[in-house]
Each structure stands twice: as C-alpha cells, then as structure tokens.
C-alpha cells in the first residue's frame, strides 16, 4: 500500500497532523500563523515544512504531490459565541476570520489533492455552508458532512463540530458518495476514547488560593493562556484519525 501524503492548514497545535501520523500518513507541510504554535509544531513534526500566514502560502509548489489537505478554518465569525451584539453579531463565513476559508479553497485549487477534510462549528451549517459547497463544486469536488461530538468518542466534553470530506471528481473514488460516503461508516461507539476522569473537590481546601494552584510547577500564567487557547481551538484527533483511516481505504 502506498504512503499517502498530507498538508494541514490552520494547523493550530497539530490535531490533524497527529491523527495523520498515527494513521501512517506522511505530513509534508503545515500552515499556522501563530509563533507559539509553530514552535510546538516544529518540535512535534520536525520533518514537516512550516508556513506562516495562509495568505502568503503559495500552493503551486505542491501541485499534484498531495493526497489529503485538512484544516479547521477559523470559526470566530460563525460560532454561537458571536451571536451577541456586544461582539458585533455573527458575520458568518464572510467575516474577517472565518472568511479565510477563501484561502483554503484557493490552495485546494492550486494543489489539487485527492481529498480534503474540514472542520468547524456546527453553526457553519446555517452561517455560510452553502458558500463552502459552492466553492468546492466550482473546484470540482463532491462533499459529504456529518456532525460529531467528542462525547461520542469517550471524551468528557461535548464539543459539537461539523466535519466535511470532499473528493476530487477527477479520481477513481468520485463515486464514493453514491455508496454512502465514509463519514457514515464511522461508528463512534467502536472508536477508542478516554474514560471521563473527575478530581474530587475534597482534595482542595476550601480556603485555597486557586490563582496559585499551578504556580508550584514553575509554569507562567502566559504559558497556561497559550496552552488553553491552543486546546480550545483544536480538534479531537481521534475523530480525524477515524476519517484518515477511512480515506486510506479508498485513495
């Protein structure tokens, strides 16, 4: 079996890259704007070429060399957290951040992968999903999608997200959707997961200064802030792993 190749966009802390590596897929490159996350990616995936701003990423150098492109493009203008007028309301996929989808689509056109995977807030389905489908159709890609929850895979948080997989109409796998697609073949109950773990509150003194809980290990609050931000924007790698495994069967 040939080794498939992969590029991730809006990489974050590397959830898709970790899943691809675990599935035996070669990570060729990643694209992440934030310095802290790029340093982490350099440590975890030293053989993957690093790119910064997606606006400056020229995909032509990888034309015809990539099997799969993945990425969870920004959800800030789409998610339910942005519905408040305080935040300007939800602008949808035409917002400043979520509008970066256009560069995802541009790179798909320049590189021409066999398949792509994308992830976003479930609110995307009512806030611009038709634009995603139209862009993919113009690029000659057929798409399937499904909602997944982290809890379905054994993790102790809900994290409802829409995952989409699109296939090039030029490949032999173009008829895959007629057979039901691959997302419907993923059975969360069969996926490996994590048993929810709770920490008894009695372990903490009610008079404790919670602001100092992490101070004894020497990590700064700024590092915690970066870690929490990275985790908050990340995907659940187990879900991506299941998708990669299904793609390996048909590509």
Has residue 250 got a pLDDT over 50? yes
Between 179 and 22, the higher pLDDT residue? 22
Task: Calculate mean pLDDT across residues 135-153.
Answer: 93
pLDDT at 226: 67
Rounded-to-integer distance, Cα 45 and Cα 205, Å? 41
pLDDT at 200: 44
Could you give the 3-state DSSP secondary structure of residue 141? strand
Of 9-13, 50-54, 214-218, the least confident: 214-218
Has residue 111 got a pLDDT over 50? yes
Six token digits for residue 236: 């659940």
Burial class (CB in 10 A: 0-12, 13-18, 19+), 150: buried
pLDDT in tens, 227-241: 666 665 789 999 999
Which domain range does residue 101 map to? 5-250
Task: Calculate mean pLDDT across residues 189-213.
Answer: 46
Highest mean pLDDT among 39-53, 85-99, 186-200: 39-53
Task: Calculate mean pLDDT across residues 122-132.
Answer: 89
Task: Calculate mean pLDDT across residues 76-82.
Answer: 64
Yes or no: say if 7 and 66 are a contact pair by the CB < 8 Å rule: yes
* Domain total of the chain: 1
What CATH number corresponds to the domain at position 157?
Answer: 3.40.50.150
Q: Model's pTM, two decimal places?
A: 0.82
pLDDT at 41: 97
pLDDT in tens, 38-54: 999 999 999 999 999 99
Rounded-to-integer distance, Cα 217 and Cα 232, Å? 22
Residues near 247 by Cβ (< 8 Å), separated by ≥ 6? 4, 67, 68, 115, 117, 165, 182
Rounded percentage of the chain residues whose pLDDT exceeds 70 = 74
Task: Calculate mean pLDDT across residues 21-42.
Answer: 97
Between 85 and 159, the higher pLDDT residue? 159
pLDDT in tens, 169-188: 887 766 677 677 899 888 76
User: Whats the size of the chain, residue-wise?
Assistant: 251
pLDDT at 194: 45
Rounded percentage of the chain residues whose pLDDT exceeds 90 = 54
């Amino acid at each position: 079996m040939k080794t498939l190749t992969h590029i991730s966009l809006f990489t974050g802390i590397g959830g898709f890259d970790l899943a691809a590596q675990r599935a035996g897929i070669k990570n060729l490159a990643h694209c992440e704007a934030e310095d802290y996350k790029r340093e982490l990616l350099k440590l975890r995936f030293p053989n993957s070429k690093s790119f910064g701003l997606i606006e400056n990423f020229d995909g032509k150098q990888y034309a015809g060399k990539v099997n799969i492109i993945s990425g969870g493009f920004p959800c800030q203008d789409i998610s339910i957290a942005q519905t408040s007028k305080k935040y300007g309301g939800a602008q949808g996929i035409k917002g400043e951040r979520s509008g970066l989808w256009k560069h995802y689509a541009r790179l798909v056109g320049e590189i021409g992968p066999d398949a792509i995977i994308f992830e976003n807030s479930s609110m995307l389905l009512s806030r611009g999903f038709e634009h995603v489908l139209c862009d993919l159709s113009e690029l000659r890609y057929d798409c399937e999608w499904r909602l997944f929850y982290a809890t379905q895979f054994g993790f102790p948080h809900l994290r409802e997200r829409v995952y989409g997989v699109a296939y090039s109409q030029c490949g032999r796998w173009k008829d895959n959707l007629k057979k039901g697609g691959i997302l419907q073949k993923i059975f969360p109950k069969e996926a490996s997961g994590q048993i929810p773990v709770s920490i008894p509150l009695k372990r903490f003194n009610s008079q404790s200064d919670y602001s100092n809980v992490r101070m004894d290990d020497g990590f700064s609050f700024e590092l915690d802030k970066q870690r929490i931000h990275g985790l908050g924007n990340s995907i659940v790698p187990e879900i991506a792993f299941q998708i990669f495994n299904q793609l390996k069967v048909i590509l």
